[in-house]
């Protein structure tokens, strides 16, 4: 069930025939909606080979091009394929229901499966990380990416229970370490699973680089809409739009505000949008979703370290 799809379509304000990037194709919910309102071409990116393999049959439309790649690479991929600056870009950050619902992918703590959690199905698995990393490193990941207040306690319990190969075992270790009563509102394993997944897939770095790639891929007047699922991600998008639209970055005693010599690359930054009560009732997973959107100006993209002078 795509989250905030009507709101994303509103924010993208597609005109008939426009070219749009769906940076997180997933099960194709956004892409289907983009095509339904008359997009001329959709380039659907996903780093998960399963999403790409199943995409064509989920959305059998000749206007769709599927690309198995991370959205942080979209500017390069679009340029390589000779696709000019695009009219709109959507990013729907996080895991798909497809990934969560398949126990063998190892994302869910509600069903037992191998501790995998790799979106692009390459690189080290969650089991390899947890069985090798030292306690301090595991605690850091839980604290930074899960905002877990009991990170040390959980990390200690994980190290003591190694090897851990199954999601069910990891969930049980976390629940035992921090105490869990049946029927408690939220499962304490949620934060640990989220943290490990974000770390393993470098999700925050991907989001930061994806926003920069979007800035480099949009035409002047092009729209960018980003849906996030928790505060760590939302903060990154909020800061990016604030900084790129010329808003004053929040300074501090340690980090004084410096004048920004760059022209704003985004404007018309919209207020954040949350799901309606109606959407929440039908799709509890959308609880913490938040949409932010803005329009690209004609200013050149910000320079990156590797750029030629
Ligand atoms: C929340 S789902 C998207 C659901 C989609 N909007 C829909 O309506 O079906 C997120 C998808 O983005 C993919 N993904 C996550 N990070 C990515 C990245 N950095 N690059 C490309 N795809 C990514 C995941 O594999 C997953 O399939």
Pair 113, 167: CB distance under 8 Å: yes
Q: Which of 163, 184, 183 is nearest to 173 (CA)?
A: 163
Pair 212, 302: CB distance under 8 Å: yes
Question: Residue 45: CB within 6 Å of ligand 1?
Answer: yes
Instruction: Pick out the chain residues at pLDDT < 70.
Output: 247-261, 308-309
Predicted pLDDT at 84: 82
Minimum CA distance residue for ligand 1 atom 7: 29
Percent of the chain with pLDDT over 90: 86
Q: Is 127 helix (H, G, I), strand (E, B) or coil?
A: helix
Q: pLDDT tens-digit profile of 90-126?
A: 999 999 989 999 999 999 988 899 999 999 999 999 9
Question: Residue 28: CB within 6 Å of ligand 1?
Answer: yes
Predicted pLDDT at 258: 59
Question: Residue 168: CB within 6 Å of ligand 1?
Answer: no
Distance CA 172, CA 191 (A): 13
Distance (angstroms) between ligand 1 centre and the Cα of 91 equals 8
Mean pLDDT of the chain: 94
Q: Which of 1, 162, 186, 196 is nearest to 110 (CA)?
A: 186
Question: Residue 233: CB within 6 Å of ligand 1?
Answer: no
Question: Residue 286: CB within 6 Å of ligand 1?
Answer: no
Report residue 166: phi and psi, to 5°: -125, 150
Q: What angle separates helix 231-244 from helix 203-217, to the nearest 10 degrees?
A: 30
Q: Which of 227, 236, 234, 232 is nearest to 285 (CA)?
A: 227
Q: Strands of 290-296's sheet, edge to edge?
A: 64-68, 41-46, 19-22, 86-92, 218-228, 290-296, 266-267
Question: Is the Cα dihedral 198, 201, 203, 208 positive or negative?
Answer: positive
Predicted pLDDT at 19: 98
DSSP letter assigned to residue 256: -
Tell me the sheet residues that pair with 292.
226
Pocket test for ligand 1, best of 46, 121, 236, 283 (most atoms within 8 A of CB): 46
Taking the CA of residue 210 as reference, the ligand 1 atom at the shortest distance is 19
Question: Is the Cα dihedral 71, 76, 80, 82 positive or negative?
Answer: positive
Predicted pLDDT at 47: 98
Pair 259, 253: CB distance under 8 Å: no
Question: Residue 55: CB within 6 Å of ligand 1?
Answer: no
Predicted pLDDT at 162: 97
Residue 180, number of CB atoms within 10 A of its CB: 16
Predicted pLDDT at 286: 87
Question: Residue 2: CB within 6 Å of ligand 1?
Answer: yes
Pair 242, 249: CB distance under 8 Å: yes
As a dihedral over the C-alpha atoms of residue 281, residue 286, residue 289, residue 291, rounded to 10 degrees, the angle is -80
Predicted pLDDT at 209: 98
Pocket test for ligand 1, best of 3, 11, 20, 26 (most atoms within 8 A of CB): 26
Distance (angstroms) between ligand 1 centre and the Cα of 62 equals 21
Predicted pLDDT at 304: 82
Pocket test for ligand 1, best of 9, 98, 119, 226 (most atoms within 8 A of CB): 119
Pair 7, 291: CB distance under 8 Å: yes
């Amino acid at each position: 069930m795509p989250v905030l799809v009507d709101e994303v379509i509103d924010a993208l304000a597609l005109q008939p025939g426009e070219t749009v990037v769906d940076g997180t194709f997933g099960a194709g919910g956004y892409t289907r909606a983009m095509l339904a309102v008359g997009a001329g071409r959709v380039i659907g990116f996903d780093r998960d080979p399963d999403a790409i393999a199943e995409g064509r049959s989920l959305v059998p439309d000749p206007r769709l091009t599927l690309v198995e790649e991370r959205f942080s690479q979209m500017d390069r991929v679009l340029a390589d394929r000779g696709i000019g600056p695009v009219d709109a870009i959507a990013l729907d950050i996080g895991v798909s229901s497809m990934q969560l619902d398949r126990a063998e992918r190892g994302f869910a703590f509600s069903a037992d499966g191998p501790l995998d959690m790799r979106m692009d199905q390459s690189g080290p698995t969650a089991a390899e990380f947890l069985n090798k990393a030292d306690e301090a490193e595991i605690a850091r990941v839980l604290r930074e990416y899960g905002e877990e207040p009991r990170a040390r306690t959980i990390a200690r319990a994980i190290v003591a229970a190694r090897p851990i190969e199954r999601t069910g075992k990891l969930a049980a270790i976390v629940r035992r370490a921090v105490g869990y009563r049946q029927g408690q509102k939220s499962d304490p394993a949620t934060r640990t699973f989220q943290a490990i997944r974000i770390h393993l897939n470098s999700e925050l770095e991907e989001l930061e680089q994806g926003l920069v790639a979007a800035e480099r891929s949009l035409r002047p007047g092009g729209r960018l809409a980003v849906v996030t699922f928790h505060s760590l991600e939302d903060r990154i998008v909020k800061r990016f739009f604030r900084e790129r639209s010329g808003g004053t970055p929040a300074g501090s005693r340690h980090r004084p505000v410096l004048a920004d010599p760059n022209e704003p690359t985004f404007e018309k930054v919209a207020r954040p949008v949350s799901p309606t009560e109606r959407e929440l009732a039908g799709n509890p997973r959308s609880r913490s979703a938040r949409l932010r959107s803005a329009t690209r100006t004609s200013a050149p993209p910000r320079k990156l370290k590797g750029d030629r002078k």
